[in-house]
Amino acid sequence: DTAVSQTPKYLVTQMGNDKSIKCEQNLGHDTMYWYKQDSKKFLKIMFSYNNKELIINETVPNRFSPKSPDKAHLNLHINSLELGDSAVYFCASSPIHSVYNEQFFGPGTRLTVL
Amino acid sequence: GENVEQHPSTLSVQEGDSAVIKCTYSDSASNYFPWYKQELGKRPQLIIDIRSNVGEKKDQRIAVTLNKTAKHFSLHITETQPEDSAVYFCAVLSGSARQLTFGSGTQLTVLP
């Protein structure tokens, strides 16, 4: 009955590899997000997405791309991984009809690039 | 874009004392101000929020106040307990972007 789930929980990989993180929500929400939390705990929005609009934070490298097979899923693909990509990545979702954008977070994926 | 500043970055209090965390923001059109609590190794979770048409909101031991004129809002925790120890984030929803901008976080430690 988990509201927002992510897999894997931990991901260790070599520089230059391509990897994906999966996210699923069973809340019936229309909007999903990806956040990056670095070692200093800063939480930064990377993408927000619903079935009509993708908003990309301009600071996100184009090696990162979100892919949504359906409304309940938003996966994150990362190409040519770099050391600086090491962080915890959180998926989140919110109901589009909510003007106030309450967001529910997934458990996070700790990515370590060696 | 929106700029959110959060202070202090760390805060230690004795059990039973109060804790106050403050945030300022730059976009006067912002209309939603949530607070999230993140325990070590866990996900951020919403603990309280306030909307721009309200000046204060309280939920048991936690309260949030908003001063729209000065563009700042604060989280107040009374009668702190060790389980309140966590990182607390403020956030601001900008009217135009419809995205949350988070503050830099406050590590709260409640000493028994």
Is the pLDDT at B4 greater than 60? The verdict is yes
pLDDT of residue A57: 80
DSSP string, A32-47: EEEEEE-TT--EEEEE
Which residue, A91, A112, A10, A35, is CA-closest to B41? A10
Q: Which residues are CB-neighbours of A98 under 8 A, at least 6 positions away?
A: none
A48 in contact with B at a CB cutoff of 8 Å? yes
pLDDT in tens, B7-27: 999 999 999 999 999 999 999
Answer whether A108 sits within 8 Å of B43, measured CB to CB: yes
Residues 93-112 of A with CB under 8 A from B: 99-108
Answer whether B99 sits within 8 Å of A42, measured CB to CB: no
Q: Round the average pLDDT of chain A to a whole number and report it.
A: 90
CA distances from A83 to A9, A22, A52, A68, B9 (A): 19, 21, 33, 26, 26
**Is the distance from CB of A52 to CB of A84 less than 8 angstroms?**
no
Distance of alpha carbon A106 from alpha carbon A89, whole angstroms: 9
Strands (E), A2-41: 4-7, 10-13, 19-25, 31-37
Answer whether A103 sits within 8 Å of B101, measured CB to CB: no
